[in-house]
């Protein structure tokens, strides 16, 4: 679709900007681009004028971004967002764009100004969803690598993570806690790390088929402290914002064996002295341990495990969280 509309002189100044600039008519047909746009994209001006501005779409930009853009521009409101487009070479082009409507006489124009995110001082741009995905996968790799000696442990860790997600979201909704989404994601992701301290446990004790002696029990009860030490040593070497804050993970590792009545370990914390994230993971961890066969025990039925949790609310478990958990089944 070629256009016969000429570019008004009032808009030509935008083409001198250092960022990539594209100017379209009201139907988003390209009227002009500047040299920077040609340099970055590899598309020559005389071959793209008259094309729809979206010809460089990669189909990787979330559809909600386009919906938001169209809604704003229909109301003649400037819009800013992130696009993932393709250059002529096929290479992806991540860019922040601001599109501003301009009414000149009876004609409407749109000025798009692109800033290539790859060229920003911070270097790499990650969307919020991508940050969450990267965080989740990095913590998963860390957790599994710490427990590589037992192939069955990986399945336990993933089940704990999945059930933690269900429980924290249900408990937040049921009690109108208004927990921040970032906190909820942090708890879900960090739950997979709860037992990393067992990497420091002797295998003869960790997988002993019979009952532990009091001495062996004391060694096992050191694993939250060992886990926190592993986490702290690792986090000192990490500079990325999306995995730098480890407070929630540390709380889960240190306190998921504390009990509501103060008889847990390693610090004998009681009630709400125990961080919420640890109280949530505690129930999930015990439930999965009870319903899974281990070298030293047979698996329990779901019904028997839920009865145990019900009988121990107010003793081992936070009663409110325990009630939420039971209601899930």
- Domain assignment present for 96: yes
User: Which tokens sit at 47?
Assistant: 């071959």
pLDDT for 263 beyond 90: yes
| 136-160 tens-digit pLDDT | 555 665 565 555 455 567 788 889 9
61 pLDDT more than 90: no
Say whether pLDDT at 235 is over 70: no
Same domain, yes or no: 76 and 169: no
Is 4 within a domain? no
On the question of pLDDT at 177 being above 60, the answer is yes
Tell me, yes or no, whether 189 lies in a domain. yes
The closest of 145, 87, 106, 124 to 26, measured between CA atoms, is 106
Indicate whether 87 and 229 sit together in one domain: no
Confidence of residue 242 (pLDDT cuts 50, 70, 90): very low
Instruction: Determine contact, residues 72/78, Cβ cutoff 8 Å.
Output: yes
Q: Helix 223-235 crosses helix 247-255 at what angle (to 10 degrees)? A: 170
**Most trustworthy range by pLDDT among 10-24, 151-165, 208-222, 263-277:** 263-277
Tell me: pLDDT of 1 over 50: no
Same domain, 136 and 14: no
250 and 321 share one domain:
yes
Q: Which range (93-97, 116-120, 293-297) has the least confidence? A: 116-120
Q: Are residues 166 and 261 in the same domain?
A: yes
148 with 109, same domain?
no
Residues 298, 223 share a domain: yes
The whole-angstrom distance between residue 84's C-alpha and the CA centroid of its chain comes to 20
One domain for residues 107 and 135: no
* Domain end position, chosen among 119, 144, 160: 119
pLDDT band at 133 (very low <50, low <70, confident <90, very high): low
Q: In this structure, is residue 2 part of a structural domain? A: no
- Domain assignment present for residue 3? The answer is no
Instruction: Kindly state whether residues 78 and 177 are assigned to the same domain.
Output: no
pTM of structure:
0.59
Residue 240: inside a domain: yes
What's the token pair of residue 149? Answer: 């000696």
Count of domains forming the chain: 2
73 contacts 66 by C-beta, under 8 angstroms = no
Q: Residue 143's Cα: distance from chain center in Å?
A: 16
Q: Kindly tell me if the per-residue pLDDT of 9 is higher than 90.
A: no
Within 10 Å of residue 55's Cβ, how many Cβ atoms? Answer: 11
Q: Report if residue 223 sits inside a domain.
A: yes
Sign of CA dihedral 214, 217, 219, 225: negative
Look up residue 227 and give its two tokens. 């886990």
Q: In this model, does residue 211 exceed pLDDT 60?
A: yes
Q: What is the mean pLDDT of the chain?
A: 85
**Same domain as 21, residue 139:** no
Give the end of a domain, one of 119, 146, 173: 119
Q: Report the range of poorest mean pLDDT among 62-76, 242-256, 315-329.
A: 242-256
CATH number, position 79: 3.30.450.20
DSSP letters along 266-305, please? SS---GGGS-HHHHHHHHHHHHHHHTS-BTTBPPPPHHHH
User: 119, 136, 157: which is the final residue of a domain?
Assistant: 119
Q: Where are the beta strands (DSSP E) in 88-230?
A: 92-104, 107-116
Q: What are phi and psi of 54, to 5 degrees?
A: -80, 10
CATH number at residue 142: 1.10.3210.10
pLDDT digits (tens, 9 = 90+) for 280-303: 999 999 999 999 987 667 899 999
- Distance of CA 165 to CAs 168, 259, 309, Å? 6, 21, 18
pLDDT at 121 over 60: no
Q: Round to whole Å and give the CA distance between 13 and 225.
A: 63
For residue 49, pLDDT over 90 is answered with yes
Tens-place pLDDT, residues 310-320: 999 999 999 99
Report if residue 1 sits inside a domain.
Answer: no
Paired with 206 in beta bridges are none
* Residue 198 a catalytic site member: yes
| 197: three-class secondary structure by DSSP | helix
Domain span including residue 285: 128-327
pLDDT score at 6: 80
Choice among 140, 198, 233, 236 that is catalytic: 198
Q: Is the pLDDT of residue 161 over 50?
A: yes
Quick one: 169 and 224 in the same domain? yes
Q: Confirm if 58 and 11 have CB atoms less than 8 A apart.
A: no
Cα 303 to Cα 296: distance, rounded to the nearest angstrom: 21
- Same domain flag for 76 and 135: no
């Amino acid at each position: 679709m070629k256009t016969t509309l000429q570019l008004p002189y009032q808009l030509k100044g935008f083409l001198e900007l250092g960022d990539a600039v594209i100017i379209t008519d009201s139907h988003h047909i390209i009227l002009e681009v500047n040299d920077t746009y040609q340099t970055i994209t590899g598309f020559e001006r005389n071959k793209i004028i008259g094309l729809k501005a979206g010809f460089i779409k990669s189909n990787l930009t979330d559809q909600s971004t386009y919906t938001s853009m169209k809604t704003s521009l229909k109301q003649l409101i400037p819009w800013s967002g992130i696009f993932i487009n393709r250059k002529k070479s096929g290479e992806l082009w991540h860019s922040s764009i601001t599109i501003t409507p301009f009414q000149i006489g009876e004609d409407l124009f749109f000025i798009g100004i692109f800033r290539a995110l790859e060229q920003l001082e911070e270097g790499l741009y990650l969307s919020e969803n991508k940050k969450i995905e990267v965080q989740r996968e990095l913590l998963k790799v860390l957790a599994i690598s710490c427990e590589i000696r037992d192939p069955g442990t990986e399945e336990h860790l993933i089940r704990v993570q999945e059930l933690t997600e269900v429980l924290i979201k249900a408990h937040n909704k049921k009690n109108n806690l208004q927990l921040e989404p970032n906190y909820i994601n942090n708890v879900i992701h960090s739950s997979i790390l709860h037992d990393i301290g067992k990497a420091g446990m002797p295998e003869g004790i960790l997988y002993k088929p019979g009952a532990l002696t009091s001495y062996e029990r004391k060694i096992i009860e050191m694993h939250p402290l060992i886990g926190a030490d592993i986490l702290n040593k690792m986090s000192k070497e990490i500079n990325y914002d999306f995995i730098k804050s480890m407070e929630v993970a540390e709380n889960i590792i240190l306190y998921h064996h504390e009990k509501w009545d103060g008889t847990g370990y390693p610090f004998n914390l009681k009630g709400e002295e125990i961080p919420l994230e640890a109280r949530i993971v505690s129930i999930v961890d015990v439930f999965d341990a009870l319903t899974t066969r281990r070298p030293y025990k047979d698996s329990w039925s779901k019904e028997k495990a839920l009865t145990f949790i019900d009988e121990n609310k107010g003793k081992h478990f936070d009663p409110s969280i325990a009630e939420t958990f039971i209601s899930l089944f």
